[in-house]
Structure 1
Amino acid sequence: MTKTNEKIHVLADESLGGIKREYVEVDRKAEVGDKIIVTEGDDFPVGHIDTVAHWYDNYDDGSIDLFEGFDNDIFLDGNREEYRVLEPTNIVHIDGPDGTERYEMVDRKAEVGEKVVVVDDEDSSEEFGNFRIGEVGTVESYATDDTYFGEYANVRVSDGRDIPIYLHEYRVLVPLESSEEEPQPSDPIDVIANLATRVAELERENKRIQKELGWYEVGAGSIANLRNDVADIRHDIAKLEDRIVHDYATNEDVTDFLYEEVKRLQDEIDTLHKDNRRNGEELAKIKDRIDDFQDAENDRIYNLYAITNGKRDEKMFTAEEVATLLNAMRERQ
């Protein structure tokens, strides 16, 4: 532990792969996972730094269990000891060719040439590139892929490897060169402490929201699984597009066939209508011929009847009169 200023401590942060990080002292009750520093006590020496393993919610004095403890004692009695919580800041210490330098971690897209530090390695894999939390490198370029996140940065790390990482997997390292940016033991310290407290509250709120949304239930490697799922979906979409093109071409052929078939049937219907009209005309002609033949037969019968009854020279009967005579003859029979 290196004390850089009053109420500020530089400690290795395991959540950043062991990178040294600046912490500020904050007066509040500790929670599980928090780092604390003993400020007054009987069983623990002042300045002892530890991590909270258990918090007793049935105590109002802030009693806690520690991971390492002191003299085999891990229980810190809130009535006998006093401590402060060490809140992490966004300032880290990175070893470079010119010695250790201070950087601020900023959550934004890095420019080409800027340094970044890996903060999320859940999607590290042989297929997409191996990387680990805490690795520091320089952004060489940007590229895109077909995943949900799209654009990623090509980062050259210290051992010469190139790793592809997305925006949520890194933080930009902004160098703090001016002495004015060094934390001071006066009012700015209180400002930083308040900001750190607020950040811690927001982080806890974020964890609570993520837990309610079931984010942690998804499991490690979820992004890689999502990438694979997206790739499968894109593959299925491509297959469906090919099928649509094929079906459209097939339907177009069927449409052409149906059009020709309907046209052929319509021609046949038109032909039948023409035949019907022609047959009607022929039928009318035949009917006229039958009527003419019937009239001739009636005349012949009239003449025979007249000769038979000795009335050959008399006036010929009309067709109506002959019909009446024939009916009368049938009735006499």
Structure 2
Amino acid sequence: MSDVKKIRITKASMPTYWYADRIGEIFEVTKEMVNDCFVKVNETTDEHFVSYDDCEPVIEHEGRLYREVQRKANIGDLVKIILVEVAECEKFKVGDVFRITGTDHNGVYSREVPKTDYNTEGYLKRKEYVVLEPIDTATEEPPGPHASADDPKSVLDLVANLARRVTELEKQTEANTNDIAFLDKQRLESELTPLQLAILRADAPTDVKFTLIVEAERLQSEREQAIKEAE
């Protein structure tokens, strides 16, 4: 495993940050601070700062990049040692990587952990490791501005809202089409005025034409009523 510390940009807290358009890119850490770090952008530029809130630590193992995740390991997972609780009784050290080959209610086990009289089964305590999850940089995309990749609920809400909006638009389109079809069938030849026919044949959205036809009918009725009253 490489000893060089690296981070991956996950977001930009401010749109003016230099890495706002470089989400997903990975950089080598050159200096660590309390709330941020400095990274090497390329061989010719100065160091640039990155907020810890906007990145995640990654490590390289056997040519592949991984993120560190705090959870219980499952069989087949790779784990990295972050603490050796009884160092004098163990033969592994911080930074070692092992693949988990067994789990039970006590913890996890790996055949790759060097055996000792103190630890004959390759047992690892939960606080001694982090799980390494592979990062597929070719397929991972940054989350959109209104939905977080770490918040499944926001993504589901977004999809639900879009589906509901599509359904409403489909119903509205169907209703408008049915209204015009009804007018065309029942009244086109006998009842529509020249003005209404002109509106119906106009190059305009269906809902607009229907509204104008209804309005023309209302105005025609008012005109006829006014004529009757004048008589």
TM-score for both structures, normalised by structure 2: 0.39
Q: TM-score under structure 1 normalisation?
A: 0.29
Report which of the two structures shows the higher radius of gyration computed on alpha carbons: 1
